[in-house]
Amino acid sequence: MIKISLERAARNPAASLSLPELPFEADGMEIARRTISNWPGYAPSPIRDLSDLAAELDLGKIWFKDESVRFGLGSFKPLGGAFAVSRALSRHLAGETGSEAPDLLSSDMKARVASLTVTAATDGNHGRSVAWGARMFGCRCVIFVCSSVSQQRKDAIASYGAEIRQVDGSFDDAVRMADQTARKEGWFVIPDTSDGETVIAPRDVTQGYMLMVDEALEQLKGEPPVTHIFLQAGVGGMASASAARFWQAYGDKRPVTTIVEPEKCACWYESLVAGKPVAVTGDIDSAMAGLSCGEVSLIAWPVLETGADFMVTLNDDAVPVMMRYLAGRGGDDRPVIAGETGISGLAGLVAAAQDEALRKEMGLGPDSHVFVVNSEGDTDPDAYKTIVGKSASEVLGQ
**What pLDDT digit, counting tens, does each position of 122-157 carry?**
977 899 999 999 999 999 999 999 888 889 889 999
Contacts of residue 103, Cβ cutoff 8 Å, sequence gap at least 6 = 109
Find out if CATH 3.40.50.1100 is the number for domain 81-191: yes
pLDDT digits (tens, 9 = 90+) for 287-307: 998 898 899 999 999 999 999
pLDDT digits (tens, 9 = 90+) for 174-193: 999 999 999 999 999 999 88
Query: For the chain, what percent of residues have pLDDT higher than 90?
Result: 85
CATH of 8-75+202-397, one of 3.40.50.1100, 3.30.70.1560, 3.40.50.720, 3.30.413.10: 3.40.50.1100
Residue 315: pLDDT band with limits 50, 70, 90:
very high
Catalytic residue among 61, 65, 77, 264: 77
Residue 391: pLDDT band with limits 50, 70, 90:
very high
Catalytic residue among 123, 192, 309, 378: 123
Position 102 scores a pLDDT of: 84
What is the average pLDDT score of the chain? 94
Residue 281: pLDDT band with limits 50, 70, 90:
confident
Position 148 scores a pLDDT of: 81
Q: Quick one: how far is CA 223 from the chain centroid?
A: 24
Residue 142's φ and ψ, nearest 5 degrees, are: -125, 125
Q: Is 123 a catalytic residue?
A: yes
Q: Is 110 a catalytic residue?
A: no
Higher pLDDT, 196 or 335: 335
Contacts of residue 110, Cβ cutoff 8 Å, sequence gap at least 6 = 104, 137, 138
Check: CB of residue 239 under 8 Å from CB of residue 250. no
Cα–Cα distance, 67 to 121 (Å, whole number): 21
Domain ranges (residues) in the chain: 8-75+202-397, 81-191
Position 141 scores a pLDDT of: 98
Position 195 scores a pLDDT of: 84
- Within 8-124, strands assigned E span 8-11, 47-49, 61-66, 117-122
Residue 336: pLDDT band with limits 50, 70, 90:
very high
Q: Could you write out the three-class secondary structure of 301-323?
A: HHHHHHHCCEEEEECCCHHHHHH
